[in-house]
Amino acid sequence: MKAAILLFPGCNREGDAARAFGQAGAETQIVWHADHVLPNGIDLVVLPGGFSYGDYLRCGAIAARSPIMGAVGRHAARGGLVLGICNGFQILCEAGLLPGVLMRNRDLRFICRRQHLRVERNDTAFASAYGLHQTIEFAIAHGEGNYEAHDETIAKLEDEGRVAFRYCDASGKVGGAANPNGSTNDIAGIYSKNFNVLGMMPHPENLIDPLVGGIDGRGLFESLTKAA
Amino acid sequence: MKTRVTVTLKTGVLDPQGKAIEGALNSLGIKGIVSVRQGKVFDIELEGAEPETARAVLTAASEKLLANTVVENYRVELL
């Protein structure tokens, strides 16, 4: 598995992503946003977390118009894998690779905490190491994670089984106080139509070491490393 | 040519910032405010003075970057 981790001005979790993929046995390289092409033989493009362009204009808006994103779009169109984490998810929505938009958290606070998620499906390249409806614990750190889209878009996502993860409590109960940001239908991550693009607000790359109190994040990287 | 693009949230889109501003105005004792929704103003200076060209440039700028048309509207003014 060869992954290209994109670097925009203001990203801050590219190192964490590289570490998580390295631990799972994948090869990674950092790709600068102003490049026009991806390196040869890339299986997966990763858009890491952070504050690209300082969240100026809208989160991810300027990064989504970077030169490298043309190549990412072509890679996705021919079935290549793409993973957007947090700001990466915001960039994918702004770039039109995923539908909808991430808005300011309903309660206006930046939320930085551990967060339980329910794995909605495990038959994808990203989640095969998890059990169906398994409750896992990642970390979240965001101020704009409220996933919103037109009603028809939400209905389509649900009908097509494209919700990847939902916010839940430790017992696996979805929604209510377990939803940190007001996301529609407690959506924490979604897949593209062909399930090759995943955007998610939580950070799997930060729960891979017992030292920080959890290793549920490893499953995502293990799934992907097996996928190519 | 001086121009202005105003970007606002579409009706029905949740605006917690607007609500927070509303609450703060009320706390300041400014009464009679029914609702507040926050938008953005871009003051853009264009070269040339042709109104049709100006509108085309600003529309392209708005559609491609300044507004996220999933949740935002935009209005173009030639000043």
- The ipTM, to two decimals, is 0.84
By percentage, how much of chain A surpasses pLDDT 70?
Answer: 100
Find the mean pLDDT for residues A187-208.
Answer: 98
Query: Does residue A170 carry a pLDDT above 90?
Result: yes
| Residue A58 pLDDT > 90 | yes
Is B68 within 8 Å of A65 when comparing Cβ atoms?
Answer: no
Average pLDDT over chain A, rounded to whole? 97
What per-residue confidence (pLDDT) applies to B9?
96
The residue in chain B having the minimum alpha-carbon distance to the alpha carbon of residue A94 is: B68
Of A58, A105, A150, the CB nearest to B68: A58
Q: How far is A120 from chain B (nearest CA, A)?
A: 26
Mean pLDDT of A145-154: 97
Asked: is A2-227 a CATH 3.90.340.10 domain? The reply is no
Q: Which of A69, A97, A103 to mutate to test the interface with B (most CBs of B within 10 A)?
A: A103
Three-class secondary structure of residue A65 per DSSP: helix
**pLDDT the model gives residue B28:** 93
| Percent of chain A residues topping a pLDDT of 90 | 100
pLDDT tens digits for range B2-20? 999 999 999 989 899 999 9
Q: Measured between CA atoms, how close is A138 to chain B, in angstroms?
A: 26
Tell me how far apart the alpha carbons of residues A128 and A226 are, in angstroms, rounded to a whole number.
9
Yes or no: say if A44 and A2 are a contact pair by the CB < 8 Å rule: yes
Q: CA of B66, closest CA in chain A: separation in Å? A: 7
User: How much is the average pLDDT of A94-98?
Assistant: 98
- Is residue A205 part of the annotated active site? The answer reads yes
Question: What would the two tokens of residue A42 be?
Answer: 């890339």
Instruction: Identify whether A148 is a catalytic site residue.
Output: no
For an interface test with A, give the residue of B37, B70, B72, B74 to mutate (most A CBs within 10 A). Answer: B70
Query: How many angstroms separate the CA atoms of A112 and B23, rounded?
Result: 25
Rounded distance between C-alpha atoms, residue A94 and residue A97, angstroms: 8
SS3 call for B29 = coil
Is the Cα dihedral A90, A96, A98, A99 positive or negative?
A: positive
Identify the closest residue of chain B to A56 by CA–CA distance: B66
- CA dihedral in degrees (A81, A86, A92, A95; nearest 10)? -150
Q: Which helix (H) or strand (E) holds B41?
A: strand B40-45
Closest alpha carbon within chain A to B64: A65
Q: Residue with structure tokens 């105003």?
A: B6
Pairing of strands A135-142, A187-191: unpaired
A228 pLDDT band, cuts 50/70/90, is confident
pLDDT at A161 over 90: yes
The length of chain A, given as a count of residues: 228
Compute the average pLDDT of residues A26-40.
97
B4 DSSP β-pair partners: B43, B77
A203 catalytic, yes or no? yes
Is the CB of residue A52 less than 8 Å from the CB of residue A34? no
- Across chain B, mean pLDDT equals 95
pLDDT tens digits, residue range A59-83? 999 999 999 999 999 999 999 999 9
Q: Which of B13, B20, B71 sits opposite A108 (nearest CB)?
A: B20
- CATH numbers and ranges of domains, chain B: 2-78 (3.30.1280.10)
The predicted model gives A190-215 an average pLDDT of 97
| Residue A97, amino acid | L
pTM over 0.90: yes
**Residue corresponding to tokens 């946003």:** A33
Q: Between chains, do A149 and B70 touch, taking CB under 8 Å as contact?
A: yes
Mean pLDDT, residues A192-201 taken together? 98
Identified catalytic residue from A11, A86, A93, A168:
A86
CB-based contact A66:A31 (threshold 8 Å): no
CB atoms closer than 10 angstroms to residue A156: 14
pLDDT tens digit string along B40-55? 999 999 999 899 999 9
Name which of B16, B17, B68 is nearest A101 (Cβ-Cβ). Answer: B68
Evaluate if residue A188 carries a pLDDT over 90. yes
Residue A81 corresponds to which amino acid?
A: L
- What pLDDT, on a 0 to 100 scale, did the predictor assign at position A102? 98
Q: Which residues of A touch B13 (CB under 8 A)?
A: 103, 148
CB pairs under 8 A between A and B: 32
State the number of CA atoms in the 13 A half-sphere of A126 facing the CB.
Answer: 29
What pLDDT digit, counting tens, does each position of A100-132 carry?
999 999 999 999 999 999 999 999 999 999 999
User: Is the Cβ pair A149, B65 closer than 8 Å?
Assistant: no
pLDDT band at A165 (very low <50, low <70, confident <90, very high): very high
Residue of B nearest to A65 (CA): B65
